[in-house]
Chains A and B, each alone.
Chain A
Amino acid sequence: MSGIPRLRDFTSARVGLSRAGNSLPTSELLALQLAHARARQAVRSKLDARQLGLELQPMVGDLLFVRSAAPDRATYLRRPDLGRRLSDESRQTVLGRKGKYDTVFVVADGLSALAVQLHAARLIEATLSLLDRADWKLAPFIVVEQGRVAIGDEIGEALGASMSVVLIGERPGLSSADSLGVYLSWNPHPGLTDADRNCISNVRTEGLSYAAAANKLVFLMNESRRRKLSGVGLKEEAKALE
């Protein structure tokens, strides 16, 4: 029988678990509990902004470190509204760099600083390699602690950017504590909703590769700029890319 592939060879989903009565066997039950504990740990992980800065600096040059209005993780979890706004001090920092930019890249810890730590710099590297830098005037790169997706709206507006691209740690799953999401918004300003954004999710080693994600992102960036919109109106035609 050993030559026949098992169902688990085809997916990372928890298939073929077998049963103890109608319930999970002990080994699987304990494996789930361990995975849950790891995911909870990822939620509580703290972004090492200095380390991320060291990785980003050579690629992007101009880099700003800011914080949301949520002072700590416990507040961040209860008050998403605070995670969508800059702290007063950070707002001044960002306003100080106001200009006229095509795009701002924002890296935020979100719900998994682990994801950002592992994947953000590498996705940015892959994206920049596909982007015609002469054709894109990029704002200073922003690293945000305790940030949510919509903080890119305030940052984009404050900087005078036509588009924001937010790279953020997604909510950890049991099998993926390190999944990175990317949200693109045209004409970023507070008040945008999810319908106004395009999302690329699940960027991680076992999920969407850096190259594939960068490919999609650059396609979306070009289309968004050409059509001056993002979100539901800008359906990604991924087929052309695959």
Chain B
Amino acid sequence: MALADLPLARFLSEPVVPYEEDEVTRLIVDEHDPEAFAPVAGMCVGEFRDWLLSDAAHPDLLTALAPGITPEMAAAVSKIMRLQDLVTVAAKIRVITRFRNTLGLRGRLSTRLQPNHPTDDPVGIAASIIDGLTYGSGDAVIGINPVSDSVSSVVSLTRMLDHIRATFEIPTQTCVLAHVTTQMEAMRQGAPVDLVFQSVAGTEAANRSFGISLSLLREARGQVLELRRGTVGDNAMYFETGQGSALSAGAHHGVDQQTCEARAYAVARHLQPLLVNTVVGFIGPEYLYDGKQILRAALEDHFCGKLLGLPMGCDVCYTNHAEADPDDMDATLTLLGAAGVNYIMGVPGGDDIMLNYQSTSFHDALYLRRILNLRPAPEFESWMHSRKAELRGAVALLER
């Protein structure tokens, strides 16, 4: 049977990965909300697309629908949608989350300030943070990918980020993106952790290859919530995903990479995150070969995430072994902006000198904010205004 004619309900009765073998499937099935599903329960995939595009599917209805949609339904319908469909529907859905500020509001575009350094040098990291702040970057999070996964190093980086945030009274959150078990140990040692980060995938076996399980993630969330560091909300988790991780781990059960990706969103959804982003071009050409595939995957991931009720951002990126260049990234970035992406990355010059890939720059975010008339998170925007003189002074000094 062609995909468009497949009833949505079939995804509930026939899991693509066996219920008995996989805790992600169990999560998807056990947490499915039939009441939320009711408005579309009788539809097949093709009808679902038509309905999503119609005015009947207004923003509030789509928000209420999310707990009734499974990753497999979202992935299925995305496969028969063109880019403009993926943009149109995603743009209707706002997913708002809060920790020390409010992210995801209509008319806003946030950024993760990503000040990575190849040796975790605190001074080098601070230089990138200062640079980013002068461009209005960092309202989603100031988040470092550390070179070292050692607890002591993660504790000291976490303290340093918190010191900068507290000193300048920046209404944002910080994160050191080490393995979740390292962050948990850091918390035990008293590190001021705002958000707990982890890469997640769409099958139990793929998550095992990351050294994680649902119970471990739940435990981590419980631990960080006890710190009570959020001031306007308690969305305290940060997840990254990316098509291909299940295949990399040999843990895909014969399911296509995009459906596996959407299943990772079920894991994320369960833990009420502040931030979720697909790192769309990171893994490489074996999964997304060129700029066209990266563009398509970015919009699919963003759409699926939003439909499932996630605060979806995107690391618009490529690696040097893919057939892609900055023009491809500009196209992806612009379409994601039109689709209402919650946040993108901010990396000095777009060149991540630690992870060795190209993401979006501070300049790229300014471009997108200007052409689409988008602003930073409200609390962060107010902070920028209140610190205008200092930020301008810093810019003058930096650009001399």
Contact = CB atoms under 8 A, between A and B. Distances in A.
A11 B319 contact: no
A232 B207 CA distance: 13
B182 to A, nearest CB: 7
Nearest to B135: A19
B363 A195 contact: no
B209 A42 contact: no
Interface in A74-88: 77-80
Interface string B185-220: 000000000000000000000001111000000000
A51 interface: no
Interface stretch (A101-109, A134-142, A165-173): A165-173
A170 B363 contact: no
Given A14-B351, A15-B128, A195 B356 contact: no
A33 B326 CA distance: 9
Interface in A7-28: 7-8, 10-19, 22-24, 28
Contacts of B116: 13
B126 interface: yes
A176 interface: yes
Nearest to B125: A11
A174 interface: yes
Contacts of A1: 400
Contacts of A62: none
Interface stretch (B58-66, B224-232, B258-266, B284-292): B284-292
Contacts of B349: 13-15, 17, 24, 28, 32
A170 to B, nearest CB: 6
A72 to B, nearest CB: 14
Nearest to B367: A22
A43 B348 contact: no
B320 A239 contact: no
Nearest to B120: A238
Contacts of B348: 11, 13-15, 17
Interface stretch (B72-80, B97-105, B147-155): B147-155
A12 B320 contact: no
Determine which residue in A7, A23, A208, A236 has the highest number of CB atoms from chain B within 10 A of its CB, and name it: A7
Interface of A: 1, 4, 6-8, 10-19, 22-24, 28, 32-33, 35-36, 39-40, 42-43, 77-80, 111, 170-176, 179, 191, 193-195, 201-202, 206-208, 231-232, 235-239
Interface of B: 115-119, 121, 123-128, 130-131, 147-153, 179, 181-182, 208-211, 248-250, 284-286, 289, 319-321, 325-326, 347-358, 361, 363, 366-367, 370, 397-400
29 contacts: A4-B397, A6-B398, A7-B130, A7-B398, A11-B127, A12-B118, A13-B348, A14-B350, A15-B128, A15-B348, A16-B398, A19-B363, A22-B363, A22-B367, A22-B370, A23-B367, A24-B349, A80-B248, A171-B357, A172-B321, A173-B356, A176-B353, A201-B147, A202-B118, A206-B118, A207-B118, A208-B118, A208-B119, A235-B182
